[in-house]
């Protein structure tokens, strides 16, 4: 039987090979001297401003996540939510398996003494909101540029997936007691399900969706989601200006945002090295940006968006006396 460690090591090796391969493919069509010149000419002031938008994005995500615990959100410490988000994102970046969301639920559950399934319910709503914003941006891109066929397919697939998730959430919120009652009766007839305590687990998960029952809270959640998307697009925008890339800035900012979200959704190379830069390279090349400048953008944006989050996440792990793999084992075993 293949051990979990062997699988993780194999995934890391495959991911690293993929990242290196993509970098090699990009460098084959790039002039190294032009790449260095583009990096050297980057405006440090605008890079600093872009870094501030990344920090603001993380804080906005934490504030939205706290609101998802309504009406008990006032009791939650923002520091616990921020730490969990940073650690979760770091785990998604560095580990070959995406356990970042599970780790967030685990960490907040431990720090705030809350049900971890309740936390997972709030994260489910968070992913729905992020998906809706991404779908909105895709729709806006249809008005701004001739979109490639793969983006049309991705938009349809995303819409169907979000529709299914939304239907599930609405069903759990509107028919909560009926569903729990049916699950309870099924558990009485099936000893295996009764041992799993499925009814109680589903109830805790449904509690994480309770914030959606309040119309005013829904408006605030949508406002925070729009704010998060605006800040993320602003980071891309400022990086484009910092590198003096002459391209329709709004279109390019949104297009890069969509491509990165879709391309990085699947685990790939460690810290997304190579994959991140190649996705930026492809995005801007599609918009007519010269290859060296497009790849330089990928390196600068990576230094702005990914590296600070990883460093902050590692600091949070150190403060909590945790390591990535130990936390991943705790999450998998919980």
Preceding omega of 159 cis (within 30 degrees of 0) = no
**Higher pLDDT among residues 266 and 134, named by residue:** 134
The predicted model gives 279-293 an average pLDDT of 92
- Domain-by-domain residue ranges, the chain? 13-333
DSSP 323: -
Q: What is the CA radius of gyration of the chain?
A: 21
Please state whether the predicted TM-score (pTM) of the whole model is above 0.85. yes
The predicted model gives 237-253 an average pLDDT of 95
Share of the chain above pLDDT 90, in %: 43
DSSP 197: T
DSSP 212: G
Contacts 24+ apart (CB under 8 A), 240-246: 240/297, 241/43, 241/46, 242/42, 242/43, 242/46, 242/47, 242/50, 242/300, 243/38, 243/41, 243/42, 243/43, 243/293, 243/296, 243/297, 243/300, 244/41, 244/43, 245/284, 245/289, 245/293, 245/297
Distance CA 179, CA 197 (A): 14
Q: Which of 47-56, 110-119, 196-205 has the lowest mean pLDDT?
A: 196-205
Q: What is the pLDDT of residue 196?
A: 57
179-226 pLDDT per residue, tens: 767 766 666 666 655 565 666 666 666 767 777 777 888 899 999 999
Q: What is the pLDDT of residue 148?
A: 86
Is-contact 278 22, C-beta < 8 A? yes
Q: What is the pLDDT of residue 153?
A: 87
120-136 pLDDT per residue, tens: 888 988 998 999 999 99
Q: What is the pLDDT of residue 7?
A: 54
Per residue, what are the HEC states of 79-130? Answer: HHHHHHHHHHHHHHHHCCCCCHHHHHHHHHHHHHCCCHHHHHHHHHHHHHHH
**Higher pLDDT among residues 73 and 295, named by residue:** 295
- Mean pLDDT, the chain, rounded, equals 85
Q: What is the pLDDT of residue 121?
A: 84
Say whether pLDDT at 96 is over 90. Answer: no
Distance CA 314, CA 325 (A): 12
Say whether pLDDT at 79 is over 80. Answer: yes
Is-contact 244 41, C-beta < 8 A? yes
* Confidence tier at 1 by pLDDT (50, 70, 90): very low
Burial of 180: CB neighbours in 10 Å, binned 0-12, 13-18, 19+: middle
Q: What is the pLDDT of residue 221?
A: 94
228 Cβ neighbours under 8 A, 6+ residues apart: 57, 60, 61, 64, 130, 133
The predicted model gives 66-74 an average pLDDT of 85
């Amino acid at each position: 039987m293949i051990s979990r460690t062997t699988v993780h090591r194999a995934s890391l090796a495959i991911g690293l090979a993929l990242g290196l391969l993509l970098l090699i493919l990009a460098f084959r069509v790039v002039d190294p001297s032009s790449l260095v010149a583009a990096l050297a000419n980057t405006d440090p002031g605008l890079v600093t401003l872009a870094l501030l938008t990344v920090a603001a994005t993380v804080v906005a995500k934490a504030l939205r996540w706290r609101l998802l615990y309504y009406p008990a959100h006032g009791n939650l410490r923002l520091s616990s939510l921020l730490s969990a988000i940073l650690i979760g994102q770091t785990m998604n970046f560095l580990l070959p398996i995406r356990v970042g969301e599970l780790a967030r639920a685990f960490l907040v559950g431990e720090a705030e003494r809350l049900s971890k399934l309740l936390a997972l319910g709030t994260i489910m709503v968070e992913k729905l909101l992020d998906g809706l914003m991404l779908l909105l941006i895709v729709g806006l891109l249809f008005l701004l540029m001739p979109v490639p066929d793969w983006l049309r397919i991705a938009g349809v697939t995303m819409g169907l997936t979000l529709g299914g998730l939304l239907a599930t959430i609405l069903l759990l919120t509107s028919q909560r007691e009926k569903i729990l009652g049916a699950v309870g009766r099924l558990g009485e007839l099936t000893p295996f399900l009764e041992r799993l305590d499925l009814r109680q687990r589903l109830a805790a998960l449904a509690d994480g969706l309770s914030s959606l029952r309040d119309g005013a809270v829904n408006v605030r959640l949508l406002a925070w989601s729009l704010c998060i998307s605006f800040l993320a697009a602003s980071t891309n925008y400022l990086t484009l200006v910092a590198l003096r890339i002459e391209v329709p800035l709004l279109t390019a900012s949104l297009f890069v945002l969509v491509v990165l979200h879709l391309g990085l959704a699947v685990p790939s190379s460690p810290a997304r090295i190579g994959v991140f830069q190649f996705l930026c390279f492809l995005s801007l090349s599609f918009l007519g940006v010269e290859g060296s400048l497009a790849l330089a953008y990928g390196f600068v944006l990576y230094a702005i968006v990914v590296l600070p989050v990883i460093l902050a996440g590692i600091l949070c792990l150190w403060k909590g006396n945790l390591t990535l793999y130990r936390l991943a084992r705790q999450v998998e075993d919980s």
